[in-house]
Amino acid sequence: MLGECYEFGVGVSKNHAEAVKLYRMAAEQGDAESQHTLGRFYALGQGVPQNQGEAAVWYRMAAEQGYADAQYNLGLFYQNGQGVSQDHTEAAKWFRVAAEQGDANAQYSLGVIYAEGRGVPQDHAEAAKWYRMAAERGGANAQENLGWLYVYGQGVPQDHALAAKWFSIAAEQGNADALLGLGMLYAEGLGVSQDHAEAAKWYRMAAAQGNIGAEINLGLLFANGQAMPQDDAEAAKWYRMAAEKGDAAAQSNLGVRYATGKGVPQDHAEAAKWYRLSALQGNANAMYNLGVLYANGQGVGQDYIEAYAYFNLAVAGGSDEARKLRDTVSRQYLKGQTLLLAQQRSRELQVELDAQKAQAANAKQGTVENSGNSPAPQVAVAEEAKVMGSGFVVSASGIVVTNWHVVENAKRIELITTRGRVKARVLSFDASNDLVILRSENPLPVALPITSSRGTKLGAEVFTIGFPNPDLQGFSPKYNRGEISSLAGPTDDPRFFQISVPVQPGNSGGALCDAWGRVIGIVAAKLDEQIAYKASGSLPENVNYAIKSTYLLAMLESLDLSDNDLAGQENEPLSAEVARQRAEDAAVLVMAY
């Protein structure tokens, strides 16, 4: 055929455009082979602009004439949603008609469809039937998949000797998963005599192709000293190779190496890094170990809320040890709001975990079904808050106070409270005094009473409850106490108190309470150390400011709230413990997005 001469440059210069013209002439006259070839040119964009829809048209013409290669390619198009709407049932139909003509690729693809239950009811026996047909025609992937069916007894009687046979045949063609499977059979003595040296040989061949399972298993052989001298450094090397490819088990194992200092310098921060990567893929051992690091403050800031959350996920993954530690942490360190925050954090981690699983599933679909022709669907990643600050409840109906600068540029506001996460909106704000009043969607727990700041004396004892540096110190509220250092703020600004209470980023908007637990101010600012040093030649210590409650009361009065809407005043002094607990229960973490 003249078209072939131009396609391959036989007797003439290679010219795909000329080949397309000649193939089209034959295709339009009904020649099935030319129709299939023309479809291939459109699919690849050779001699014509790439057009998958046009490729599907020509493949269908040839397929309907019984041309097996076209039937197989049309099946792939339906499987991948390439040039046609994705339809696994239609894909199965075209794979079947090609497979029944003896097309080995179609037989293998039909086997995969039955094994996975896509477009047809899942049926491992039917999968084995089609794998065997393709395997007997020399298909390495089919040989390897048939071997795994024999390993697990799916669709065929379990028979490790037959698994070894098919793995060996596929391994001779260099199939990496078959090399892995053969190594596993030798390691366990299944279907062959147990031989760790032989297992290592096959693992190395598979690992040379980047096979993750082989890398992990080599790490285990070196860690346990099987078939070679025990070598922790070599074990860590192989775990790292697999871990860097994203394997959760390898990441967990590498974390253990860093935590114990086996084969690598001991480094709890590095251990936490690998545990976290593994945990977000659902590895229960990594969740448990990461929880231990948070509970002990090793490599991460000590945070019982994070510890509880990871232990809780590990329990869901079947870890009884995690259950014991979760209950211990809950009993000894988490009470009231902090326990609710820990439970909320556990739910947030579960959302992250589910998103990671969905992303992994879509990535797999992208490689198997999209075949590089279009991007795999993307999973939305949980949005991080742009600003986080402290706030406090002043009415159980859902009124919260914080600093205006915390939410000024927010498109969305959420509050983490003792009742979980709730959305909020701005009710009123006073930019000049850096105050804002928020209304939550739902009623909130304990509210703090507000008293006038006019009677506050110099040296009065005060305390704050807030969320300093939540990214580093965790999401549990922190208590700090101090005194009123001055009745005026920077440059004698009468709107502020100067306080000796330690303040860090994240404290902004928190309540400043007197000994009775009444709000007398709102934490607003920390003296800029660089400016102070330039002005005075020394660095200030604990020079922080709070806006006086008088300005907040004026805002609340302007809202015309009912007398019952705000927390009432106490008739008698509260104990320090009761005042602190009430302030803790009323504290909220404000998250601005």
What distances in angstroms separate CA 29 from CA 23, 68, 552, one per listed residue?
10, 19, 86
Tokens 């590895």 — which residue?
Answer: 283
Strand spans (E) along 303-412: 387-395, 399-402
Residue type, 148: W
- Cα atoms found within 13 Å of the Cα of residue 449, Cβ hemisphere only: 17
Q: What is the dihedral of CA 48, 72, 145, 149, to 10 degrees?
A: 150
**3-class SS at 519?**
strand
Residue predicted with more confidence, 116 or 540? 116
Q: Which two tokens stand for residue 451?
A: 């008293």
Average pLDDT of the residues in 183-210: 95
Distance CA 441, CA 134 (A): 61
Q: Residue 378 pLDDT more than 60?
A: no
pLDDT tens string 439-449: 887 788 788 99
pLDDT (0 to 100) of residue 475: 66
Q: Residue 486 pLDDT more than 80?
A: yes
Average pLDDT of the residues in 127-153: 96
Distance CA 526, CA 502 (A): 9
pLDDT (0 to 100) of residue 4: 83
> What does the mean pLDDT of the chain come to?
87
Distance CA 52, CA 396 (A): 61
Q: Which two tokens stand for residue 323?
A: 């259950």
Q: Residue 400 pLDDT more than 60?
A: yes
For every residue of 556-568, which 3-state class applies, written as one string?
HHHCCCCCCCCCC
Name the most confidently modeled range: 9-18, 273-282, 329-338, 339-348. Answer: 273-282
How would you class 547 by CB atoms within 10 Å of its CB: exposed for 0-12, middle for 13-18, buried for 19 or more? buried
Residue type, 218: L
Average pLDDT of the residues in 401-424: 87
Instruction: Give the Cα-Cα-Cα angle 404, 406, 408 (nearest 5 degrees).
Output: 60
Report the percent of the chain where pLDDT is more than 70.
89
Q: Residue 14 pLDDT more than 50?
A: yes
* Range of weakest confidence among 58-67, 329-338, 339-348, 361-370: 361-370
Contact 131, 146 (CB under 8 A): yes
Average pLDDT of the residues in 6-11: 82
Nearest to 312 by CA among 298, 324, 300: 324
pLDDT (0 to 100) of residue 369: 32
* Range of weakest confidence among 115-124, 349-358, 373-382, 566-575: 373-382
Q: Which two tokens stand for residue 202?
A: 């096959």
Would you give the DSSP letter of residue 453? G
pLDDT tens string 283-316: 999 999 999 999 999 998 888 888 999 999 999 8
> Which band of pLDDT confidence, cut at 50, 70 and 90, is reported for residue 507?
confident
Q: Residue 537 pLDDT more than 60?
A: no
Distance CA 443, CA 465 (A): 21
Write the CB contacts of 416 (distance below 8 Å, at least 6 apart in sequence).
Answer: 341, 344, 475, 588, 589, 591
Tokens 């704000």 — which residue?
Answer: 429
H helix runs in 387-522, sequence order: 404-407, 470-473
Provide the β-strand partners of residue 523: 546
Q: CB atoms < 10 A from the CB of 355, how many?
A: 15
pLDDT (0 to 100) of residue 129: 97
Q: Residue 377 pLDDT more than 50?
A: no
pLDDT (0 to 100) of residue 441: 78
Distance CA 4, CA 347 (A): 62
Q: Residue 376 pLDDT more than 50?
A: no
pLDDT (0 to 100) of residue 166: 97
pLDDT (0 to 100) of residue 496: 92
pLDDT (0 to 100) of residue 155: 95
Contact 216, 238 (CB under 8 A): yes
Q: Residue 216 pLDDT more than 80?
A: yes
Would you give the DSSP letter of residue 380? P
Distance CA 449, CA 518 (A): 5
Q: Residue 81 pLDDT more than 70?
A: yes
Residue type, 561: L
Residue predicted with more confidence, 568 or 383? 568
pLDDT tens string 442-479: 788 788 999 999 889 999 999 998 888 766 666 678 88
**3-class SS at 182?**
helix
Average pLDDT of the residues in 524-538: 46
> Which band of pLDDT confidence, cut at 50, 70 and 90, is reported for residue 322?
very high
**3-class SS at 32?**
helix
Contact 291, 307 (CB under 8 A): yes
> Which band of pLDDT confidence, cut at 50, 70 and 90, is reported for residue 217?
very high
Nearest to 366 by CA among 377, 381, 350: 377
Q: Which two tokens stand for residue 91?
A: 């894909």
pLDDT (0 to 100) of residue 511: 94
Which helix (H) or strand (E) segment holds residue 512: the answer is strand 511-514
Average pLDDT of the residues in 129-140: 96
Distance CA 221, CA 224 (A): 5
Residue predicted with more confidence, 341 or 63? 63
> Which band of pLDDT confidence, cut at 50, 70 and 90, is reported for residue 372?
very low
Distance CA 354, CA 412 (A): 23
Residue predicted with more confidence, 93 or 539? 93
Q: Residue 170 pLDDT more than 90?
A: yes
Contact 282, 353 (CB under 8 A): yes
pLDDT (0 to 100) of residue 474: 61
pLDDT (0 to 100) of residue 524: 86
Q: Residue 539 pLDDT more than 70?
A: no
Report the percent of the chain where pLDDT is more than 90.
60
> Which band of pLDDT confidence, cut at 50, 70 and 90, is reported for residue 384?
low
Contact 83, 75 (CB under 8 A): no
